[in-house]
Chain A
Amino acid sequence: MNWFRKIERGLSRNDKRDMPDGLWRKCDGCGEIIYERVIHRNNWTCIKCGYHFMVSAREYISMLADPGSFTEMDSTIRSVDPLNFRDSKKYTDRLKSAMKKTGLSEAVVTGTCDIGEHPACVAVLDFKFMGGSMASAVGEKVARATKAALEQRRFLVIVSSSGGARMQEGILSLMQLAKTSAWLARYADEGLLYISIMTHPTTGGVTASFAMLGDIIIAEPGALVGFAGPRVIEQTINQELPEGFQRSEFLFDHGMVDMVVPRTKMKKTLVDVFDFFGDIEKQVEEKQKPAILKTPPHIEVRADRGANGPASGNRE
Protein backbone atom coordinates (compact mmCIF):
# COMPACT_ATOMS: atom_id res chain seq x y z
CA MET A 1 0.00 0.00 0.00
CA ASN A 2 1.53 3.15 -1.22
CA TRP A 3 0.34 5.61 1.46
CA PHE A 4 1.51 3.31 4.23
CA ARG A 5 5.01 3.07 2.84
CA LYS A 6 5.15 6.83 2.50
CA ILE A 7 4.45 7.24 6.20
CA GLU A 8 7.16 4.77 7.04
CA ARG A 9 9.67 6.60 4.94
CA GLY A 10 8.57 9.89 6.42
CA LEU A 11 9.23 8.61 9.89
CA SER A 12 12.75 7.54 9.13
CA ARG A 13 13.92 10.30 6.82
CA ASN A 14 12.23 13.63 7.01
CA ASP A 15 14.21 15.52 4.42
CA LYS A 16 14.19 16.53 0.79
CA ARG A 17 15.15 13.06 -0.33
CA ASP A 18 11.51 12.15 0.34
CA MET A 19 10.80 13.61 -3.06
CA PRO A 20 11.57 11.77 -6.28
CA ASP A 21 15.11 12.49 -7.19
CA GLY A 22 15.71 15.31 -9.62
CA LEU A 23 12.11 16.45 -9.95
CA TRP A 24 11.23 18.54 -6.93
CA ARG A 25 13.28 20.22 -4.29
CA LYS A 26 12.36 21.72 -0.98
CA CYS A 27 13.81 25.18 -0.40
CA ASP A 28 16.03 25.25 2.67
CA GLY A 29 15.19 28.93 3.02
CA CYS A 30 11.38 29.05 2.96
CA GLY A 31 10.35 25.40 2.77
CA GLU A 32 8.57 25.86 -0.55
CA ILE A 33 8.57 22.81 -2.77
CA ILE A 34 9.74 23.82 -6.21
CA TYR A 35 10.13 22.07 -9.51
CA GLU A 36 13.84 21.32 -9.93
CA ARG A 37 13.95 22.68 -13.46
CA VAL A 38 12.53 26.00 -12.29
CA ILE A 39 15.28 26.28 -9.68
CA HIS A 40 17.84 25.46 -12.36
CA ARG A 41 16.42 28.11 -14.70
CA ASN A 42 16.60 30.61 -11.87
CA ASN A 43 20.35 29.92 -11.46
CA TRP A 44 19.78 27.59 -8.51
CA THR A 45 18.02 30.19 -6.42
CA CYS A 46 14.53 29.95 -4.91
CA ILE A 47 11.93 31.76 -6.98
CA LYS A 48 10.01 32.56 -3.82
CA CYS A 49 12.56 33.71 -1.21
CA GLY A 50 15.78 34.08 -3.23
CA TYR A 51 17.58 31.39 -1.22
CA HIS A 52 20.81 30.29 -2.90
CA PHE A 53 21.11 26.53 -3.20
CA MET A 54 24.53 24.97 -3.04
CA VAL A 55 25.70 24.28 -6.57
CA SER A 56 28.48 22.19 -7.98
CA ALA A 57 31.56 23.74 -9.55
CA ARG A 58 30.45 22.67 -13.02
CA GLU A 59 26.98 24.14 -12.53
CA TYR A 60 28.53 27.43 -11.46
CA ILE A 61 30.78 27.51 -14.51
CA SER A 62 27.77 26.90 -16.75
CA MET A 63 26.17 30.02 -15.24
CA LEU A 64 29.18 32.24 -15.97
CA ALA A 65 30.77 30.92 -19.15
CA ASP A 66 29.40 31.71 -22.58
CA PRO A 67 27.84 28.49 -23.92
CA GLY A 68 30.42 26.08 -25.30
CA SER A 69 33.39 28.29 -24.41
CA PHE A 70 34.71 26.44 -21.36
CA THR A 71 37.87 24.34 -21.69
CA GLU A 72 38.94 22.59 -18.53
CA MET A 73 42.61 22.63 -17.55
CA ASP A 74 44.67 20.42 -15.25
CA SER A 75 41.81 17.96 -14.80
CA THR A 76 44.26 15.16 -14.13
CA ILE A 77 45.77 16.72 -11.01
CA ARG A 78 44.87 14.61 -8.01
CA SER A 79 45.66 14.54 -4.33
CA VAL A 80 47.95 12.04 -2.72
CA ASP A 81 48.36 11.25 0.96
CA PRO A 82 51.68 12.86 1.89
CA LEU A 83 51.30 12.37 5.67
CA ASN A 84 49.75 8.92 5.52
CA PHE A 85 46.94 10.52 7.48
CA ARG A 86 44.34 8.53 9.28
CA ASP A 87 41.63 9.59 11.73
CA SER A 88 38.47 7.52 11.95
CA LYS A 89 38.98 6.91 8.22
CA LYS A 90 41.99 6.87 5.95
CA TYR A 91 42.52 10.06 3.95
CA THR A 92 42.83 8.02 0.77
CA ASP A 93 39.40 6.51 1.46
CA ARG A 94 37.91 9.95 2.05
CA LEU A 95 39.35 11.06 -1.28
CA LYS A 96 37.91 8.05 -3.06
CA SER A 97 34.44 8.61 -1.69
CA ALA A 98 34.58 12.35 -2.48
CA MET A 99 35.53 11.56 -6.07
CA LYS A 100 32.74 9.05 -6.35
CA LYS A 101 30.20 11.44 -4.83
CA THR A 102 31.09 14.44 -7.00
CA GLY A 103 32.54 12.95 -10.16
CA LEU A 104 35.43 15.40 -9.71
CA SER A 105 39.13 14.69 -9.32
CA GLU A 106 39.54 17.39 -6.67
CA ALA A 107 37.67 20.20 -4.91
CA VAL A 108 38.26 22.79 -7.63
CA VAL A 109 37.52 22.94 -11.34
CA THR A 110 39.65 25.31 -13.41
CA GLY A 111 39.73 26.34 -17.03
CA THR A 112 39.46 29.02 -19.64
CA CYS A 113 36.24 30.43 -21.02
CA ASP A 114 34.61 33.53 -22.39
CA ILE A 115 32.39 35.58 -20.15
CA GLY A 116 30.31 38.00 -22.19
CA GLU A 117 32.89 37.48 -24.96
CA HIS A 118 35.73 38.51 -22.65
CA PRO A 119 38.55 35.98 -22.27
CA ALA A 120 38.74 34.71 -18.72
CA CYS A 121 40.27 32.05 -16.53
CA VAL A 122 37.98 30.57 -13.89
CA ALA A 123 38.56 28.47 -10.80
CA VAL A 124 35.48 27.24 -8.99
CA LEU A 125 35.60 25.37 -5.71
CA ASP A 126 33.16 22.58 -5.03
CA PHE A 127 31.99 22.33 -1.42
CA LYS A 128 30.73 18.77 -1.89
CA PHE A 129 34.30 17.57 -2.39
CA MET A 130 35.59 17.39 1.21
CA GLY A 131 34.09 20.77 2.04
CA GLY A 132 35.98 22.55 -0.72
CA SER A 133 39.06 22.24 1.43
CA MET A 134 42.49 23.45 0.39
CA ALA A 135 44.47 20.38 -0.61
CA SER A 136 47.87 20.69 -2.28
CA ALA A 137 46.11 19.80 -5.52
CA VAL A 138 43.58 22.60 -4.99
CA GLY A 139 46.29 25.19 -4.35
CA GLU A 140 48.24 23.94 -7.35
CA LYS A 141 45.25 24.17 -9.68
CA VAL A 142 44.33 27.67 -8.48
CA ALA A 143 47.96 28.80 -8.85
CA ARG A 144 48.16 27.35 -12.36
CA ALA A 145 44.86 28.98 -13.36
CA THR A 146 46.27 32.30 -12.15
CA LYS A 147 49.48 31.72 -14.07
CA ALA A 148 47.53 30.82 -17.22
CA ALA A 149 45.43 33.97 -16.86
CA LEU A 150 48.64 35.96 -16.49
CA GLU A 151 50.32 34.42 -19.51
CA GLN A 152 47.24 34.59 -21.73
CA ARG A 153 46.22 38.05 -20.47
CA ARG A 154 42.83 36.90 -19.29
CA PHE A 155 40.54 38.18 -16.57
CA LEU A 156 40.60 35.91 -13.53
CA VAL A 157 37.48 34.81 -11.66
CA ILE A 158 37.66 32.56 -8.60
CA VAL A 159 34.44 31.31 -7.03
CA SER A 160 35.02 30.11 -3.48
CA SER A 161 33.11 27.79 -1.19
CA SER A 162 35.30 26.17 1.40
CA GLY A 163 35.58 25.09 4.98
CA GLY A 164 39.27 26.04 4.91
CA ALA A 165 42.41 23.99 5.01
CA ARG A 166 42.57 20.25 4.30
CA MET A 167 43.69 19.03 7.70
CA GLN A 168 44.67 15.65 6.30
CA GLU A 169 47.52 17.35 4.43
CA GLY A 170 48.73 19.20 7.50
CA ILE A 171 51.21 22.00 6.95
CA LEU A 172 51.30 21.36 3.19
CA SER A 173 47.72 22.57 3.06
CA LEU A 174 48.69 25.79 4.85
CA MET A 175 51.46 26.40 2.35
CA GLN A 176 48.87 26.57 -0.43
CA LEU A 177 47.72 29.90 1.02
CA ALA A 178 51.18 31.31 0.36
CA LYS A 179 51.42 29.66 -3.05
CA THR A 180 48.12 31.01 -4.39
CA SER A 181 48.73 34.48 -2.91
CA ALA A 182 52.20 34.65 -4.45
CA TRP A 183 50.79 33.96 -7.90
CA LEU A 184 48.05 36.52 -7.40
CA ALA A 185 50.76 39.05 -6.58
CA ARG A 186 52.46 38.32 -9.92
CA TYR A 187 49.12 38.53 -11.68
CA ALA A 188 48.38 41.90 -10.06
CA ASP A 189 51.86 43.15 -10.98
CA GLU A 190 50.90 42.70 -14.61
CA GLY A 191 47.98 45.10 -14.21
CA LEU A 192 45.38 42.39 -14.69
CA LEU A 193 41.96 42.19 -13.08
CA TYR A 194 40.86 39.51 -10.64
CA ILE A 195 37.30 39.17 -9.34
CA SER A 196 36.66 37.01 -6.28
CA ILE A 197 33.20 35.61 -5.72
CA MET A 198 32.42 34.17 -2.29
CA THR A 199 29.55 31.74 -1.89
CA HIS A 200 28.16 29.92 1.12
CA PRO A 201 30.27 29.07 3.06
CA THR A 202 33.74 30.56 2.60
CA THR A 203 35.90 30.32 5.71
CA GLY A 204 39.39 29.63 6.98
CA GLY A 205 42.40 29.37 4.73
CA VAL A 206 40.56 30.13 1.51
CA THR A 207 39.23 33.40 2.93
CA ALA A 208 42.67 34.15 4.38
CA SER A 209 44.23 33.89 0.92
CA PHE A 210 42.80 34.21 -2.58
CA ALA A 211 39.14 34.85 -1.71
CA MET A 212 39.98 38.16 -0.01
CA LEU A 213 42.53 39.29 -2.60
CA GLY A 214 40.23 40.25 -5.45
CA ASP A 215 40.49 43.68 -7.04
CA ILE A 216 36.75 43.37 -6.74
CA ILE A 217 35.18 41.11 -4.13
CA ILE A 218 31.61 39.92 -4.55
CA ALA A 219 29.60 37.87 -2.06
CA GLU A 220 26.40 35.97 -2.71
CA PRO A 221 23.49 36.98 -0.46
CA GLY A 222 23.39 35.27 2.93
CA ALA A 223 26.72 33.48 2.46
CA LEU A 224 28.72 32.73 5.59
CA VAL A 225 32.10 34.34 5.09
CA GLY A 226 34.80 34.59 7.71
CA PHE A 227 38.18 33.62 9.02
CA ALA A 228 37.17 31.49 11.99
CA GLY A 229 34.03 29.39 11.97
CA PRO A 230 31.17 30.60 14.19
CA ARG A 231 31.47 27.63 16.54
CA VAL A 232 35.13 28.30 17.20
CA ILE A 233 34.40 31.95 17.93
CA GLU A 234 31.53 31.07 20.25
CA GLN A 235 33.73 28.68 22.20
CA THR A 236 36.54 31.23 22.39
CA ILE A 237 34.55 34.21 23.62
CA ASN A 238 31.98 32.15 25.45
CA GLN A 239 29.00 34.13 24.26
CA GLU A 240 26.36 33.88 21.58
CA LEU A 241 27.05 35.54 18.29
CA PRO A 242 24.86 38.38 17.04
CA GLU A 243 22.20 37.69 14.40
CA GLY A 244 23.60 37.84 10.88
CA PHE A 245 27.21 37.71 12.09
CA GLN A 246 29.68 36.77 9.31
CA ARG A 247 27.00 36.82 6.63
CA SER A 248 27.64 38.62 3.35
CA GLU A 249 25.53 41.60 4.40
CA PHE A 250 27.54 41.89 7.64
CA LEU A 251 30.78 41.93 5.66
CA PHE A 252 29.31 44.51 3.32
CA ASP A 253 28.36 46.75 6.26
CA HIS A 254 31.90 46.45 7.58
CA GLY A 255 33.45 47.37 4.26
CA MET A 256 34.94 43.97 3.50
CA VAL A 257 33.22 43.28 0.15
CA ASP A 258 32.44 45.52 -2.81
CA MET A 259 28.98 44.14 -3.42
CA VAL A 260 26.46 41.51 -2.49
CA VAL A 261 25.10 40.15 -5.77
CA PRO A 262 22.44 37.48 -6.23
CA ARG A 263 23.40 34.66 -8.52
CA THR A 264 20.74 35.67 -11.03
CA LYS A 265 22.68 38.88 -11.66
CA MET A 266 26.19 37.50 -11.25
CA LYS A 267 27.14 37.10 -14.89
CA LYS A 268 25.79 40.50 -15.86
CA THR A 269 27.76 42.09 -13.01
CA LEU A 270 30.98 40.45 -14.20
CA VAL A 271 30.36 41.43 -17.81
CA ASP A 272 29.69 45.05 -16.82
CA VAL A 273 33.02 45.20 -14.98
CA PHE A 274 34.86 43.47 -17.83
CA ASP A 275 33.26 45.86 -20.34
CA PHE A 276 34.48 48.77 -18.24
CA PHE A 277 38.05 47.56 -18.03
CA GLY A 278 38.00 46.51 -21.66
CA ASP A 279 39.74 43.86 -23.59
CA ILE A 280 42.97 42.92 -21.83
CA GLU A 281 44.51 41.41 -24.98
CA LYS A 282 44.07 44.67 -26.84
CA GLN A 283 45.86 46.52 -24.06
CA VAL A 284 48.81 44.18 -24.35
CA GLU A 285 49.09 44.63 -28.07
CA GLU A 286 49.17 48.35 -27.55
CA LYS A 287 51.67 48.02 -24.73
CA GLN A 288 53.98 46.18 -27.07
CA LYS A 289 53.97 48.93 -29.69
CA PRO A 290 57.46 50.42 -29.65
CA ALA A 291 56.18 53.93 -30.36
CA ILE A 292 54.47 54.05 -26.98
CA LEU A 293 57.64 53.10 -25.15
CA LYS A 294 59.28 56.26 -26.44
CA THR A 295 56.58 58.57 -25.10
CA PRO A 296 56.83 59.95 -21.56
CA PRO A 297 55.64 57.53 -18.85
CA HIS A 298 52.48 59.41 -17.91
CA ILE A 299 51.32 59.45 -21.52
CA GLU A 300 52.10 55.79 -21.87
CA VAL A 301 49.80 55.00 -18.99
CA ARG A 302 47.00 57.01 -20.54
CA ALA A 303 47.58 55.50 -23.95
CA ASP A 304 47.49 51.88 -22.98
CA ARG A 305 44.99 52.00 -20.20
CA GLY A 306 42.52 54.60 -21.46
CA ALA A 307 41.34 57.78 -19.86
CA ASN A 308 39.71 56.00 -16.95
CA GLY A 309 42.97 55.29 -15.19
CA PRO A 310 44.75 52.05 -14.43
CA ALA A 311 43.14 48.90 -15.65
CA SER A 312 43.41 47.17 -12.34
CA GLY A 313 45.86 45.78 -9.90
CA ASN A 314 45.84 45.44 -6.17
CA ARG A 315 49.13 47.23 -5.99
CA GLU A 316 49.34 49.78 -3.32
Chain B
Amino acid sequence: MNELLKPAVEKISKKFNAKVSEFRDEVTLLIPPEENTAVAAILRDEFDFDMLSALTAVDYYPQTTPRFHMVYIFYSTKNKVYLNVRAPLDGNEPSIKTMETVYPSANWREREVWDLFGIKFDGHSDLRRIMMPPDWVGHPLRKDYPLGWEEVQFTFNFDEIDARKPKGEK
Protein backbone atom coordinates (compact mmCIF):
# COMPACT_ATOMS: atom_id res chain seq x y z
CA MET B 1 0.00 0.00 0.00
CA ASN B 2 1.15 3.52 -0.77
CA GLU B 3 2.63 5.19 2.34
CA LEU B 4 0.59 8.33 1.70
CA LEU B 5 -2.65 6.37 1.79
CA LYS B 6 -1.95 4.54 5.03
CA PRO B 7 -3.11 7.13 7.62
CA ALA B 8 -6.40 7.71 5.78
CA VAL B 9 -7.07 4.01 5.33
CA GLU B 10 -6.25 3.23 8.96
CA LYS B 11 -8.47 5.95 10.31
CA ILE B 12 -11.46 5.08 8.12
CA SER B 13 -11.17 1.35 8.66
CA LYS B 14 -10.97 1.81 12.44
CA LYS B 15 -13.66 4.43 12.80
CA PHE B 16 -16.26 2.99 10.42
CA ASN B 17 -15.29 -0.66 10.58
CA ALA B 18 -14.48 -0.62 6.87
CA LYS B 19 -13.06 -3.60 5.04
CA VAL B 20 -9.77 -2.89 3.27
CA SER B 21 -8.81 -4.74 0.12
CA GLU B 22 -5.99 -4.32 -2.35
CA PHE B 23 -5.89 -5.20 -6.02
CA ARG B 24 -3.20 -4.14 -8.48
CA ASP B 25 -1.83 -1.47 -6.12
CA GLU B 26 -5.28 0.04 -5.68
CA VAL B 27 -6.80 0.29 -2.24
CA THR B 28 -10.53 -0.18 -1.85
CA LEU B 29 -12.51 0.50 1.30
CA LEU B 30 -15.87 -1.15 1.76
CA ILE B 31 -17.83 1.15 4.06
CA PRO B 32 -21.33 0.94 5.53
CA PRO B 33 -23.60 2.83 3.10
CA GLU B 34 -25.07 5.16 5.74
CA GLU B 35 -21.60 6.55 6.50
CA ASN B 36 -20.72 7.67 2.98
CA THR B 37 -20.85 11.42 3.59
CA ALA B 38 -19.06 11.13 6.94
CA VAL B 39 -16.23 9.19 5.30
CA ALA B 40 -16.01 11.69 2.45
CA ALA B 41 -15.94 14.65 4.83
CA ILE B 42 -13.06 13.10 6.79
CA LEU B 43 -11.16 12.29 3.59
CA ARG B 44 -11.61 15.81 2.29
CA ASP B 45 -10.90 17.75 5.48
CA GLU B 46 -8.19 15.67 7.12
CA PHE B 47 -6.43 13.85 4.31
CA ASP B 48 -6.47 16.38 1.44
CA PHE B 49 -8.65 14.34 -0.90
CA ASP B 50 -9.85 17.45 -2.68
CA MET B 51 -11.43 15.85 -5.74
CA LEU B 52 -14.12 13.26 -6.18
CA SER B 53 -12.59 11.91 -9.34
CA ALA B 54 -15.32 9.46 -10.26
CA LEU B 55 -18.65 8.34 -8.94
CA THR B 56 -20.42 5.36 -10.38
CA ALA B 57 -22.19 2.14 -9.47
CA VAL B 58 -21.98 -1.56 -10.24
CA ASP B 59 -25.00 -3.84 -10.47
CA TYR B 60 -24.61 -7.41 -9.16
CA TYR B 61 -27.99 -8.71 -10.36
CA PRO B 62 -29.44 -11.32 -9.57
CA GLN B 63 -27.75 -11.04 -6.19
CA THR B 64 -29.82 -8.82 -3.87
CA THR B 65 -27.67 -8.42 -0.74
CA PRO B 66 -25.95 -6.38 -1.89
CA ARG B 67 -27.43 -5.76 -5.30
CA PHE B 68 -25.43 -2.59 -5.99
CA HIS B 69 -22.10 -1.14 -5.06
CA MET B 70 -21.73 2.61 -5.11
CA VAL B 71 -18.16 3.38 -6.17
CA TYR B 72 -16.50 6.63 -5.14
CA ILE B 73 -12.97 7.34 -6.33
CA PHE B 74 -11.27 10.13 -4.42
CA TYR B 75 -8.15 11.91 -5.56
CA SER B 76 -5.71 14.10 -3.73
CA THR B 77 -3.94 16.71 -5.86
CA LYS B 78 -1.41 17.16 -3.03
CA ASN B 79 -0.42 13.52 -2.50
CA LYS B 80 -1.35 12.42 -6.04
CA VAL B 81 -3.07 9.24 -4.90
CA TYR B 82 -6.39 7.63 -5.64
CA LEU B 83 -8.57 5.95 -3.04
CA ASN B 84 -11.56 3.80 -3.94
CA VAL B 85 -14.48 3.66 -1.57
CA ARG B 86 -17.39 1.31 -2.07
CA ALA B 87 -20.75 1.23 -0.35
CA PRO B 88 -22.96 -1.86 -0.76
CA LEU B 89 -26.68 -1.28 -1.33
CA ASP B 90 -29.39 -3.89 -0.86
CA GLY B 91 -32.63 -4.43 -2.71
CA ASN B 92 -34.06 -3.30 -6.01
CA GLU B 93 -35.01 0.23 -4.93
CA PRO B 94 -31.95 1.32 -2.99
CA SER B 95 -31.18 4.76 -1.72
CA ILE B 96 -28.13 6.43 -0.24
CA LYS B 97 -27.27 9.87 1.09
CA THR B 98 -26.18 12.35 -1.54
CA MET B 99 -22.50 13.22 -1.78
CA GLU B 100 -23.40 16.66 -3.11
CA THR B 101 -23.09 18.25 0.33
CA VAL B 102 -19.40 17.32 0.53
CA TYR B 103 -18.37 17.43 -3.13
CA PRO B 104 -20.69 19.61 -5.27
CA SER B 105 -19.39 17.87 -8.39
CA ALA B 106 -21.37 14.77 -7.38
CA ASN B 107 -24.56 16.48 -8.54
CA TRP B 108 -24.53 15.40 -12.18
CA ARG B 109 -22.79 12.13 -11.56
CA GLU B 110 -25.48 11.14 -9.08
CA ARG B 111 -28.12 12.18 -11.57
CA GLU B 112 -26.40 9.87 -14.03
CA VAL B 113 -26.37 6.98 -11.55
CA TRP B 114 -30.05 7.60 -10.74
CA ASP B 115 -30.88 7.70 -14.42
CA LEU B 116 -28.96 4.60 -15.44
CA PHE B 117 -29.07 2.47 -12.27
CA GLY B 118 -32.14 3.70 -10.39
CA ILE B 119 -30.33 4.38 -7.14
CA LYS B 120 -32.06 7.19 -5.24
CA PHE B 121 -30.01 9.89 -3.55
CA ASP B 122 -31.58 11.29 -0.40
CA GLY B 123 -31.28 15.03 -0.14
CA HIS B 124 -30.20 15.53 -3.76
CA SER B 125 -31.10 19.00 -4.97
CA ASP B 126 -32.14 18.10 -8.48
CA LEU B 127 -32.70 14.41 -9.09
CA ARG B 128 -33.86 14.47 -12.71
CA ARG B 129 -32.81 12.12 -15.48
CA ILE B 130 -29.74 13.40 -17.28
CA MET B 131 -28.82 11.03 -20.11
CA MET B 132 -32.15 9.44 -21.00
CA PRO B 133 -35.26 11.43 -21.99
CA PRO B 134 -37.34 12.67 -19.03
CA ASP B 135 -40.19 10.23 -19.73
CA TRP B 136 -38.01 7.13 -20.03
CA VAL B 137 -39.09 4.01 -18.21
CA GLY B 138 -36.46 1.76 -16.62
CA HIS B 139 -32.80 2.17 -15.83
CA PRO B 140 -30.63 1.00 -18.74
CA LEU B 141 -27.38 0.08 -17.01
CA ARG B 142 -29.06 -2.40 -14.70
CA LYS B 143 -28.15 -5.95 -15.59
CA ASP B 144 -31.80 -6.98 -15.90
CA TYR B 145 -32.44 -4.30 -18.50
CA PRO B 146 -32.21 -6.02 -21.87
CA LEU B 147 -29.80 -4.82 -24.50
CA GLY B 148 -31.68 -5.32 -27.71
CA TRP B 149 -32.67 -3.86 -31.01
CA GLU B 150 -35.53 -1.53 -31.63
CA GLU B 151 -37.79 -1.10 -34.61
CA VAL B 152 -37.45 2.26 -36.27
CA GLN B 153 -40.60 4.27 -35.80
CA PHE B 154 -41.78 6.74 -38.40
CA THR B 155 -44.80 9.00 -38.24
CA PHE B 156 -46.98 6.65 -40.31
CA ASN B 157 -46.31 3.52 -38.23
CA PHE B 158 -45.50 4.99 -34.82
CA ASP B 159 -48.60 3.73 -33.00
CA GLU B 160 -48.51 0.33 -34.65
CA ILE B 161 -44.94 -0.36 -33.55
CA ASP B 162 -45.41 1.35 -30.20
CA ALA B 163 -48.21 -1.06 -29.32
CA ARG B 164 -46.01 -4.15 -29.64
CA LYS B 165 -42.86 -2.66 -28.18
CA PRO B 166 -41.65 -4.30 -24.97
CA LYS B 167 -41.96 -1.89 -22.07
CA GLY B 168 -39.75 -1.82 -19.02
CA GLU B 169 -41.21 -1.72 -15.56
CA LYS B 170 -40.99 1.29 -13.34
User: Is this pair of chains taken from one and the same complex?
Assistant: no
Which of B's residues lie within 8 Å of A, judged by CB? none
